[in-house]
Structure 1
Amino acid sequence: MRPVGSKYLLEEPLGRGATGTVWRARQTVPAGAEAAVTGSPGETVAIKVLKEELASDPDIVMRFLRERSVLLRLTHPNIVRVRDLVVEGDLLALVMDLVDGPDLHRYLRENGPLSPVAASLLTAQVADALAASHADGVVHRDLKPANVLLRESGGELHPLLTDFGIARLADSPGLTRTHEFVGTPAYVAPESAEGRPQTSAVDIYGAGILLYELLTGRPPFAGGTALEVLHRHLEEEPARPGNVPEPLWTVVERCLRKNPDERPSAENLARALRTVAQGVGVHASSAQIAAAEGVGALLAPDPSPAPVPQDPGGDPNAATTVLPTTGAPGGHDTAAATSD
């Protein structure tokens, strides 16, 4: 077993991504007052150890320390809790609650798409998590099924959104200069693909992509290269699948508006999805059906989206997410993680 700091021991890897590896770990002594959760010896946790090249970047280390308080205070029933942050030598790690269950990407691959009602209710819980984070000024920026963990309770799936802050930590000036972007091509909002200013509306776009994938088993835009996928986000409108009820398609379409100023708030999205779930179910009353058919009224544009903050002293006009200058060869996995 490998120690992380003076309080944790890594036991086995649970998953690897572009920015690091998630491990099952064990706490050896209680954490100090700087941690959000003290914990106790023998307790099992999840630890994300960032890659060495990130941990050796002074910009990322400073960002990690600067955002410590934000990450530690972000709590919600649908957000994986960050318990502690470890900064030691060339090691950066986030200590989190361990979620004993698959991520949504794996679940869909093994079980297939969800029904319209189930997809609506699951996405509503993800929207609840986004509403809480946006109210605290935190934008996720890499919402996708792989970043939604599932805990099963009483036969129901309870989604928990993870990797808050990872996209921003990885979006260093060095990465920006080399024209790498933060996010995953299949889930990137148009304004992010073009390097325009980003707000919480990018998460609403990601929620729309996620909802589409829950209903169909695949994201709406695909292609042989990342560049091809990003251009489709900019230029194409998704076609409505035949199995998606009209009220639910209204929700998807509003989330996927190319203009971020036309997308709803996370709070209104959650409300709309629950209204639709009630109205498209087999036991829906006439009033619930009518409410679902009028769901567009609940999806007014968000009047005050949370901005993605600039770094102190950074260039406010610098693009943090840009179209790559060259595409990958055929067979590139456009849904593969670039910042998870």
Structure 2
Amino acid sequence: MRPVGSKYLLEEPLGRGATGTVWRASQRETAGAEAAVAGQPGETVAIKVLKEELANDPDVVMRFLRERSVLLRLTHHNIVRTRDLVVEGDLLALVMDLIEGPDLHRYLRDNGPFSPIAASLVTAQVADALAASHADGVVHRDLKPANVLLTEDENGMRPMLTDFGIARLADSPGLTRTQEFVGTPAYVAPESAEGRPQTSAVDIYGAGIMLYELVSGRPPFNGDSALAVLHQHLAQDPERPAGLPDPLWTVIEHCLRKQPEERPSAISLARALRTVAGGISAHATPEAAGAAMGVAALLAPDLAPAPVPETGAHGPGGGEADPTQVLPNRGAAAAGVAGAAAGAAAANAAGGYDPSAETNVMPHTSGQQGPGAPGGQGSDPTQVMPPVPGGPPQGEPQQPEGPHPWESQMRAARDRNEQTQVQPVDPGLDPLRRRPQRRPAPQAPPPPQQAPYGQQQYGQQQYGQQPAQRYEPQAPPRREPRQQQREPRQREPRQREPRPPREPRPPREPRQRSANPMRIPGLGCLKGCLFIIVILVVIIVLVWNFTDAPRWWAEGQSFWEATKDVFNKIGDLIDNVSN
């Protein structure tokens, strides 16, 4: 078990996806006012913990905090309710209601394709959830069967759309700079694959692919790689499954239009699917069957689609993804062009533009006078501007000043949700129980390798250095006859090793003078000596007054006088004898 914040406790994982892991969790205490659902202690919930790379991206955390209120107010009965959002250290988590049923992808794999009526009714409820979210300005952007959970109620099977806002959180510059896109390749809309402006029409495209998969058991586009699947989304039309009723195929065909403005709205899609389900049943009335055949009239395009922020969708037909437009060339700019360029300049000055015209080479511009330039002066060459004082070096991108604008809010949220964890400490890491470690004694430097006797010469030695010599074995010296006198052996001077330089002593810190400048007696301080003298005087006075010291002093004085008289008499006697 692992705590999440101070109110939730993870128990076991339920599934893993591309953006995180879903856990079964329990609530330990009632949530505060910041949560959409307070809950009760012991209540079981589902918590989706986002991946670590998402939690470490400041842009994701910024979106997480900014869209908190948007995610908490989605309360449709076909949407899994988000109860709370938790920020704890490097952990981002969404607390949601726990749905015990399987997801639509697993149900489809275990039970096979749906009937056309069942597929129409299930997709109609998903369209109701999309209509509610689009009205609130929230686009799912990752609609697929794996994000639709199935639960049972009094009316039968009820689909629950989940993972709202996950694609929005994952779509950050820090994660999409590697040429990735948000969504699953089998369910991504053409405008998302091309990087064009996105609106709520991407969810209608995903609903059409999910409806196709429910009735056929597979998505309309498959390939060996994601690039091949995306190419099919852009260039191919889906094949019609065998045995599919005409009204239902009409709905799928309208949802899978390549142009987003030709797709119906979520409200129109839900109404059309219910009309198709009522008209293709075996007990349908002729009026219902006729309404189903005319379902194309109900699939009206969405006149005001909900835009996806930060994708260049600022309105119909405009935005950051507008195509590059060719501006008409001015006549004055073409005055210096000679030969064939003069005719093209005249045509541009007249307002015409010929895309099939021949490519013209512009003359080299310089400070000298051009042949056709009016006034005799051509364009100045490009000059390099001096760097701005105090700015970044030339050629380096300008770095943003100061912290991230959401770092303070992120830090406050993490501090608020931070929980103190109590755990036993390893005795080896406890500073109160750890044994002091003795420092190893400094090792003496190894003795220098001396060359064999007879290999060194006195003139080659230098103080602190010794030339590298190679040892070569030599024959033993020949013994001389005993009659000859041996030559004295010359001792080689002993080479001294240079002493390592002493490390400089660290400077002494100035002593802080205490409030009481009195020193301890007996330490050689003048004040200490005076203090000892005062103590001795006090002791002598006390002994003189409270003991028999005066009597002892008198007796000692009389004894000293008697002894002095004896020595005086002896001295006088010696003087008389000597005289």
The equivalent residue for 1:317 is 320
- Unaligned 5+ runs, structure 2: 313-318, 323-579
- Shift in Å, 1:317: 3.4
Counterpart residue number, 2:488 = none
* Equivalent position SS for 1:169: helix
- Structure 1 residue 156, shift from structure 2 partner: 2.3
The within-5 A match list for 1:202-213 is: 202-213=202-213
CA offsets per residue over residues 204-243 of structure 1, 9 Å max, x none?
0000000000000100000000000000000110111112
1:188-199 equivalent positions in 2, closer than 5 A: 188-199=188-199
In the alignment, what sits opposite 1:88? 88
- Relative to structure 1, the CA distance from residue 318 to residue 66 in structure 2 (aligned partners, 3 Å threshold; closer, same or farther) is farther
The amino acid across from 1:189 in the alignment is A
Q: In 2, Cα distance between the equivalents of 1:202 and 1:20? A: 23
- Aligned mates of 1:254, 1:188 — CA distance in 2: 16
Greater C-alpha radius of gyration:
2
CA offsets 1:180-218 (integer angstroms, 9 cap, x no match): 110000000000000000000000000000000000010
CA distance in 1, matches of 2:86, 2:311: 22
Say which structure, 1 or 2, has more relative contact order (CA 8 Å, 6+ apart): 1
| Counterparts of residues 12-161 of structure 1 (less than 5 Å) | 12-154=12-154, 156-161=156-161
CA distance in structure 2 between the partners assigned to 1:294 and 1:70 by the alignment: 37
**TM-score, length-normalised on structure 2?**
0.54
| Displacement after TM superposition at 1:153 (Å) | 2.6
What amino acid maps onto 2:278 in structure 1? Q
User: Residues of 1 paired with 2:249 and 2:126: CA distance?
Assistant: 18
Q: Which residue of 2 aligns with 1:330?
A: none
The offset of 1:152, in angstroms, is: 2.0
Q: Match for 1:16: what amino acid? A: R
Instruction: Describe the shift of the 1:155–1:272 C-alpha distance in structure 2 as closer, same or farther (beyond 3 A).
Output: closer
Counterpart of 1:25 in structure 2: which amino acid? A
What is the match of residue 305 of structure 1?
A: 305
SS of the residue corresponding to residue 12 of structure 1 reads strand
Number of residue-to-residue matches in the alignment: 316
Measured in 2, the distance between the counterparts of 1:73 and 1:204 equals 22
Structure 1 regions of 5+ residues with no counterpart? 320-340
Q: For residues 246 and 318 of structure 1, what CA distance do their matches in structure 2 show?
A: 36
In structure 2, how many angstroms separate the alpha carbons of the residues matched to 1:199 and 1:267? 15
| Distance in 2 of aligned mates of 1:237 and 1:311 | 25
Match of 1:114, as an amino acid? F
**Deviation larger for 110-119 or 170-179:** 170-179
| Closer/same/farther in 2, CA of residues 34 and 155 from structure 1, 3 Å limit | closer
Matches of 1:180 and 1:240, distance apart in 2: 30
The equivalent of 1:167 in structure 2 is 167
SS of structure 1 residue aligned to 2:257: coil
Counting strand residues as a fraction of each chain, which structure ranks higher? 1
Q: Distance in 2 between matches of 1:311 and 1:55?
A: 22
SS in 2 for 1:204: helix
1:272 aligned partner: 272
The answer to whether the Cα contact below 8 Å between 1:175 and 1:181 also exists between their aligned partners in 2 is: no
> 1:100–1:151: 8 Å Cα contact kept in structure 2?
yes
1:120–1:274 contact (8 Å) kept in structure 2: yes
Instruction: Give me the whole-angstrom Cα distance separating, in 1, the residues matched to 2:262 and 2:140.
Output: 19
Task: Check whether the contact 1:147–1:162 (CA below 8 A) recurs between aligned residues.
Answer: yes
Percent of aligned positions that are identical? 79
Contact preservation (8 Å) 1:27, 1:44: yes
CA distance in 2, matches of 1:243, 1:37: 46
- Inter-partner Cα distance in structure 2 for 1:175 and 1:51: 12
Q: CA RMSD in A?
A: 1.4
CA distance in structure 1 between the aligned counterparts of 2:107 and 2:274, rounded to whole angstroms: 22
Does the 8 A contact of 1:84 with 1:95 survive in 2? yes
